[in-house]
Chain A
Amino acid sequence: MLAFLKPVRATALIAGSVVVARIVFEVASVHFLSPAISGLAKMAQVPAGTGLWDWLTGSNADARHLRLALGSMAISQIILAIMIYLRQTWDAKLSMRAVYHMRQQVYDSLQNCGFSLHDRMTSGTLINRALSDLQAVRAFVNMSLLSSLDVGITIMGYVALLFVSSPWLGGALLGLIPLWWYIIRHFGTRLQLLYQFQQDASDKVMNVLTENIGGVHVVRAFGTGNRELGRFSALNEALLSRILGVVRLQQYLTPAMQLAASLAHAALFMAACWLIHKGAMPVGDLLVLGVAMGTIVSKLQQVNTMSDTYQKAAVSAHRLFEILDTRPDVASPPAAAPLVIKRGTIAFDRVSFGYEQQNTVLDRLTAVIPGNRMTALVGPTGCGKSTLAALVGRFYDPSHGRILIDGQDLRQVDLKSLRHTVGYVFQETFLFADTVRNNICYGRTDVSDEMLRAAARAAQAEEFIAALPRGYDTVLGDSGVLLSGGQRQRIALARALVYDPYILILDDATAALDATTEQALHLMLKPLLAQRTVIVIAHKISTVRRADYVLVMNQGRVVQGGTHDDLMQLDGHYRDLVRMQLAGGDRKIRPTVVPGDPEAQAR
């Protein structure tokens, strides 16, 4: 876990020295307390009429001694105050800088590690790791790393201080420390266990609450509110009893632990009195003893929290390293040449691929997608259309075979140039919680207003964007304006158009559009897409018909290829597919449904 500190070594060093310096001055100022008090105690009397100033500046040896002690105290205290300030500042600097690097690393590996990690873990899990696990490591760096240094050195400092005044007292204190430590750890562990129970009970309560919010319609519709209330109350009651269990332990534990410390303190106090009585120690050391005892006990109490944050952080760090150590599954070869586009023809040469090893999605698929044309990919759900599309942009590499664009193997060309060539509009539209403008311009930084508007117009989005409260500057998303599925798809489309890729892949990208909009959209897109390679994954026959070429997929292979008309002439998958779809899932009533169906007439 300390590996996270490597990039901030210098800061860590300074922060560490500040901690040590602070303790040195704290111990020093306590050290001067003793001569000050002792000086006061055996102060020679001065005449009753001596003024404050005269006394302070007088040449009496005792007064000088006292002045010295008070002065040193004052100076060390002033420095201590500065050190407290520095400690705060450097503490924050260290933790923030360490976190900065951690975050940057995690962020970067997450966006560059490729998709296999994202497929393996849900985004919820990844988000959890990136946030909570990082938070746990951070909490450790922030609260416990310097604190543990602090605790160790403080204890050493005070023990040393007592040793100076009396080896006996110092020795006794040294003997007591392991004892306290043991007591605190022992009960701390028990308390930890009870807290765990409490946490479990609390999770259950929160679970019911969450379910009742997510499933509120179901609860209301079935009228089960009272039952849910009963369930919640029962769990809430269980939580309360868990909490009270902790309270019961604490009401004995906390006083008992403090009592142990205070009793030891009282005993040492008595011993110190005896030593002073015997003349083996100055009076002022009574106060030094008090401060040392108090500080050490309060420091020891932090040990539990620290070991707790350490354990949590260790688990989290392990999980973070799992992410950081993930090698990108797709990378540019060194000194790769950029992709050179001639016609944008895509060739698949015996391509096999599976998200997991045992099941193959694409099975020795061979096909050519012609350049400068629009190709429709059709086939039943799960036949591998979207996977094929993902391979073109090299989101994954095939396990066997190769993919060529204009004769260049994707694995040999520069990845960035490839991704600049291939643009996507995905089935599930993802928009960022940002303005409409920034969403559309997402792929490029050099977009003029005209380009923006032209893309929006072509994507049939201009009209509704203009109607948004702040037009292109309207913020979308959770805290902003919510758009309908069709509107979101059109923004995604505009985003792809602004990106201006030579190869455009539309993965069911118009599913949420109504028929009129879709028709208008295709009219607008036609000239824009003329000199490009376009791959359309679609279910609507109307969309498929607009393509120049159709590839029919089934079970991970391309089974047919040709134009719509050609394929309709053949007895094959495509015709079956079209017929089955036209039946609307129920052949019996089909004839009454669609009286003008050309196919029904053909029969």
Chain B
Amino acid sequence: MKAKTISHTPGALRRLFPERALRPNKQAQELDLAGLVEDGCADEARYRPVSWKLARRLLIRLTPHRRNYFIVCAAGLAVASLEVIPPKLVGQAVDALSKNQLDGLGILRIGGAWIGIICLMQLLHGCQIGLANTAGERVLSRLRDDVFAQLQRLSINYFDKTHPGKIIARAGSDVDTMRNVVCWGLNTLIANAAIMLIAGTMLILADVRLFLSVIWLAPAMLGLSYLYASRVGRAWQSVLTHSTRVGSNQTENIAGMRIVTAFNRQDLNLQAYNRLQDVNTANNVNASQLSGIFQASLQASRFLGQIVILGFGGWRVATGGLAAGTLVAASLYWELLMQPAVNYGAFLNEIMIAMAGAERVFALLDRQPTVQDRPGATALPRIEGHVSFEHVTFAYHAGQPVLKGIDFDVPRGSTVALVGATGCGKTTILSLLSRFHEPVSGRILVDGYDLNHVTGVSLGRQMAMVLQNNYLFSGTVMDNLRYARPEASDDIVIQAAKALGCHEHFLRFKEGYQTHVGERGGSLSLGERQLICFTRALVADPAILLLDEATSAVDPKTETDLQKALAILTKGRTTFIVAHRLVTIFKADLILVMDDGRIIEQGDHTQLMNSGGRYAELVRHYRDAPLAAFSAMM
């Protein structure tokens, strides 16, 4: 949010020897770092050469605000033309003063003109700031909205495959990197070209020979500037990439404290850490030196121009070809002319950073969701919960099937326990039922409706899911309980809690139902979080309930409460449970024993025990390991 333009601070005299620190983004890069480490985005490029395709897409997003941008650029042109007047005034003053022709009135006249120009320029500048930032921020805000909407459209597999830090960065830092370019890019481009053109013209008008004597330096400086952008930019990128390692080493050491202590690694680790630091320091100093060389040579070449102008121009003055004031003005024009060339590197840098951000954001926006409502998909009416799978196959990666032909039929209201070793496809069945993915072949029918041909929203409303990780949203317990049905009154929620026997639990929280759960429910215990999730599901009152039973052990009292709540929750609903507790499995109406993507046995507990197959064998084995998760036995 800086209203910063690149060559845009009025007051031409200041430019004679401006100390322009050409260290674009060094600060930003370093400050960004801590965040980056957490985000896990260290491997992403921070620079990208200009691509016209990307630039065009960005431009298209600017068009709704074209009126703003037009005025900003027009004002930029006006400011650029006004910039050359103060040097002219100074030149006049010098001429008049050296000939002793300037009296009080003359001083007032020149000073007055100057003040007028200053006021006009600042007025224009103010308009520019308002219009450019407003338009730019609206564009960025729109981009954030679009990214979020796209995230809601994308299928679950995107989230499974992508580091959360990276997803956050899309709507956060990636959009932010475009800020300067989106707000000021056009203006900088046009105004800088105009300044060079006008200042160049003024220099020609002042004295053609003087112009010719120095103009060859301009392309040299542009070239230097360009080199600067590409070389120094890359140097800082490598600094960034490596210094993330220093941060992640520290992070790991804190997280693995017990191991570090138990294995006596403190000294070795400090050495390794310092080695990383050594490289980091060297990289940093190298990059700084590189940018120091460029800054010094930019400064030197600009100054070379000054010397040439003063020396050559001095001779012209002495031989009577030029007025002294014109020479002073010419030297100021030279500064004006060189400013864009000096800043060209910084500007290019910003554009490249913005391009890197834009590329990632647009790539996200272009991504097609793998599961989306088909054209003509119908809304699922109120369902009863009769579920059947017909020859369902599925693979996350082509060629590696996870489900290899699943068939079963579940009458409404029954409880189905999915049993089997890790990775046999239990959770995938839940994912397919909730349409996080679509089957590769076969059909899933709910009350006779093919899930592929119904709308996702109408399905979601009638289905609830309780997952192992017990995700809670920030807000109060009450907010979380009515997450699925925000219109539910407090009474309905409390009734549900009472029905599950959780009411007393919730009342025992610090502020009862109004207790804030903290980010990700951090302040609550595992068991408490699960009770909240159960109640949330009951409030949603779904026809189909999907449940991934938590494996983690909770204390016996809570365990009993959870089991009771579960019994009530599943009553009258078709329930699928990825079961880890034996007691849950015994109570199921149907047990699906899975192995390697297939159902190898199905039936209730008695049937399966009598048939003496895999299930019976497992249950017998189980007495040896009473507290273990059942699935671990397989």
Question: A420: CB under 8 A from chain B?
Answer: yes
1/0 contact string of B428-461 vs chain A (CB within 8 Å): 0000001010000000000000000000111111
A448 is an interface residue with CB less than 8 A from chain B: no
Determine which of B31, B134, B255, B456 lies in contact with A127 in the assembled complex, contact meaning CB atoms within 8 Å.
Answer: B255
Contact A283-B98, Cβ < 8 Å, known A237-B141, A419-B262: yes
Listed from nearest, the 5 A-B pairs whose CB atoms lie closest are: A223-B460, A294-B14, A290-B13, A88-B292, A92-B288
Contact assessment for A217 and B467 in the assembled complex, using a CB-CB cutoff below 8 Å? yes
Across the interface, do A539 and B627 meet the contact criterion of CB distance under 8 Å? yes
Interface of B is mostly: helix
A-contacting 9-mer, from B162-170, B216-224, B359-367, B589-597: B162-170
B496 nearest CB across to chain A (Å): 15
Q: Is the CB of B257 within 8 A of A118?
A: yes
Question: A192 contacts which chain B residues (CB < 8 A)?
Answer: none
Is B292 touching A135 in the complex (CB atoms < 8 A)? Answer: no
A294 lies within 8 A of B434 (CB): no
B265 and A232 form a contact (CB under 8 A): no
Whether, in the assembled complex, A445 has its beta carbon less than 8 Å from a beta carbon of chain B, the answer is yes
Contact indicator A209/B171 (Cβ below 8 Å)? yes
Which chain B residues lie closer than 8 Å to A250 at the CB level?
A: 3, 129, 133
Is A41's CB under 8 angstroms from B97's CB?
yes
Interface string of B25-41 (1 = CB under 8 A from A): 00100110110011010
- Are B634 and A514 touching (Cβ within 8 A)? yes
Determine if A423 and B262 form an interchain contact, defined as CB atoms under 8 angstroms apart. Answer: yes
B568 within 8 A of A: no
Q: Is B386 an interface residue (CB 8 A)?
A: no
Report Cα–Cα, A80/B413, bound state, in Å. Answer: 84
Judge whether A110 and B93 touch: CB under 8 Å. no
A221 touches B625 (CB 8 A): no
**B16 near A290: Cβ-Cβ < 8 Å:** yes
**Secondary structure type dominating chain A contacts:** helix
Q: Specify the chain B residue showing the minimal Cβ separation from A432.
A: B252
Pick from A123, A223, A229, A258: contact of B125, CB below 8 A: A258
* A443 CB–B CB distance under 8 Å: yes
Given contacts A48-B320, A540-B627, contact A291 B14 (CB under 8 A): yes
Instruction: Kindly supply a per-residue 1/0 record for chain B positions 249-277, scoring 1 wherever the CB is within 8 Å of any chain A CB and 0 otherwise.
Output: 01111111111111111101110011001
> Is A357's CB within 8 Å of the partner chain B?
no
Q: Is B229 an interface residue (CB 8 A)?
A: no
Per-residue interface assignment for chain B, residues 598 to 634, with 1 indicating a CB less than 8 Å from any chain A CB and 0 otherwise: 0000000110010000000001111111111000111
Q: How far is the CA of A240 from the CA of B144 in the complex (A)?
A: 11
CB distance from A182 to the nearest CB of B (A): 20
Determine if B498 is an interface residue (Cβ-Cβ < 8 Å). no
Listed stretches A266-274, A457-465, A550-558; interface member: A266-274
* Complex Cα spacing A276 to B14, Å: 20
Closest to A515 in B: B633
A139 CB–B CB distance under 8 Å? yes
- Contact status B97-A111, CB under 8 Å: no
Q: Among A44, A100, A135, A585, which residue has its beta carbon within 8 angstroms of that of B563?
A: A585
Interface residue A215 (Cβ < 8 Å from any Cβ of B): yes
Contact of B626 among A47, A220, A581 (CB under 8 A): A581
| Chain A 174-218 per-residue mask, 1 if CB under 8 angstroms from chain B, else 0 | 000000000000000000000100100000011101111111111
Given A540-B626, A592-B605, 5 more contacts at CB 8 Å? A70-B314, A233-B145, A248-B130, A266-B111, A266-B118
Contact A37 B129 (CB under 8 A): no
Structural contact, A100 and B265, CB atoms closer than 8 A: no
Chain B binder among A101-109, A165-173, A398-406: A101-109
Query: Which listed residue (A198, A258, A269) contacts B10, Cβ 8 A?
Result: A258
Q: Indicate if the CB atoms of B281 and A97 lie closer than 8 Å.
A: yes
Partner of A593, one of B137, B296, B315, B586: B586
- Chain A residues with Cβ below 8 Å from B10 are 258, 262
A1 to chain B, nearest CB (A): 17
Contacts of A443 in B (CB 8 A): 263-265
Q: Knowing A111-B253, A229-B152, A262-B10 are in contact, say whether A43-B292 is a contact too (CB < 8 A).
A: no
The chain B residue sitting closest to A478, CB to CB, is B40
Do the beta carbons of B252 and A433 come within 8 Å of each other? yes
CB distance B172 to A206 under 8 Å? yes
Inter-chain contacts of B619 with A (CB < 8 A): 593-594
A202 to B517, CA, bound (A): 21
Report if A81 contacts B (CB, 8 A).
yes
Residues of A13-56 at the interface with B, using a CB-CB cut-off of 8 Å, are 26, 29-30, 33, 36-37, 39-50, 52, 55-56
Residues B1-56 near A (CB distance < 8 A): 1, 3, 9-11, 13-19, 23, 27, 30-31, 33-34, 37-38, 40, 43
Among B471, B582, B628, contact of A215 (Cβ-Cβ < 8 Å) = B471
Other-chain contact of A381, B153, B422, B436, B553 (Cβ < 8 Å): B553
Query: What are 12 sample pairs from A and B whose C-beta atoms fall under 8 A apart?
Result: A81-B297, A84-B295, A108-B266, A143-B27, A209-B171, A254-B3, A269-B111, A442-B259, A442-B263, A511-B632, A514-B632, A541-B626
Nearest A residue (CB) for B31: A139
Q: At the interface, yes or no: B368 with Cβ under 8 Å from chain A?
A: no
Is the CB of B338 closer than 8 A to any CB of chain A? no
Flag if A88 contacts B114 (CB, 8 Å). Answer: no
User: Which chain B positions have C-beta within 8 A of A215?
Assistant: 471-473
Residues of A within 8 A of B1 (CB): 195, 198, 243, 246-247
Contact of A595 with B by CB under 8 A? yes
Interface residue count on the A side (C-beta < 8 Å): 179
With a 10 A CB-CB cut-off, give which of B97, B605, B609 has the most chain A CB atoms: B97
Which of B18, B300, B540 is close to A77, meaning CB atoms less than 8 Å apart? B300
In the complex, B579 has a CB within 8 A of chain A: no
A18 to chain B, nearest CB (A): 11
- Do the beta carbons of B254 and A130 come within 8 Å of each other? yes
Q: Which residues of B contact A33 (CB under 8 A)?
A: 16
Q: Is B138 in contact with A240, judged by CB distance below 8 angstroms?
A: yes
Distance from A514 Cβ to chain B, minimum over Cβ atoms (Å): 5
A486 to B144, CA, bound (A): 41
Contact A277 B97 (CB under 8 A): yes
Asked whether any CB of chain A lies closer than 8 Å to the CB of B284, the reply is yes
Query: Do the beta carbons of A251 and B288 come within 8 Å of each other?
Result: no
Chain B, range 93-148, C-beta contacts under 8 Å to A: 93-94, 97-98, 100, 102-104, 107-108, 110-111, 114-115, 118-119, 122-123, 125-127, 129-130, 133-134, 137-138, 141, 144-145, 148
Residue B310 is within 8 A (CB to CB) of chain A in the complex: yes
The answer to whether A88 and B168 have CB atoms under 8 Å apart is no
A423 CB to nearest chain B CB (Å): 7
**A291-B17 contact given A212-B151, A395-B261, CB 8 Å threshold:** yes
B487 to chain A: closest CB distance in Å?
11
Are A223 and B459 CB-contacts (below 8 A) given A209-B172, A213-B167, A515-B624?
yes
A29 touches B17 (CB 8 A): yes
CA distance A539 to B625 in the complex (A): 8
Within 8 A of B (CB), among A91-148: 91-93, 96-97, 100, 103-104, 106-108, 110-112, 115, 118, 123, 126-128, 130-132, 135, 138-139, 142-143
**Bound-state Cα–Cα, A84 to B342, Å:** 15
Cα(A211)–Cα(B130), bound, Å: 34
Contact A210 B168, beta carbon cutoff 8 Å:
yes
User: Smallest CB-CB separation from A83: which chain B residue?
Assistant: B296
Q: Decide if A85 is an interface residue (CB 8 Å cutoff).
A: yes
Given A43-B317, A250-B129, A514-B421; A104-B93 close (CB under 8 Å): no
CB distance from B109 to the nearest CB of A (A): 10
B474 interfacial contact with A, CB 8 Å: yes
Q: CB of A603 within 8 A of chain B?
A: no
Q: What's the nearest-Cβ distance from chain A to residue B239, in Å?
A: 10
Confirm or deny: B402 has a beta carbon within 8 angstroms of a beta carbon on chain A: no
Stretch in B184-192, B346-354, B390-398, B554-562 touching the partner: B554-562
- Return chain B residues, CB-CB under 8 Å to A251: 3, 126-127, 129-130, 133
Q: Please measure, in the bound complex, the distance between the C-alpha atom of A600 and the C-alpha atom of B312, giving whole angstroms.
A: 111
| Residues 234-280 of A at the B interface (beta carbon under 8 Å) | 236-237, 239-240, 243-244, 246-248, 250-252, 254-256, 258-259, 261-263, 265-267, 269-270, 273-274, 276-277
Chain B residues with CB under 8 Å of A395's CB are 258, 261-262
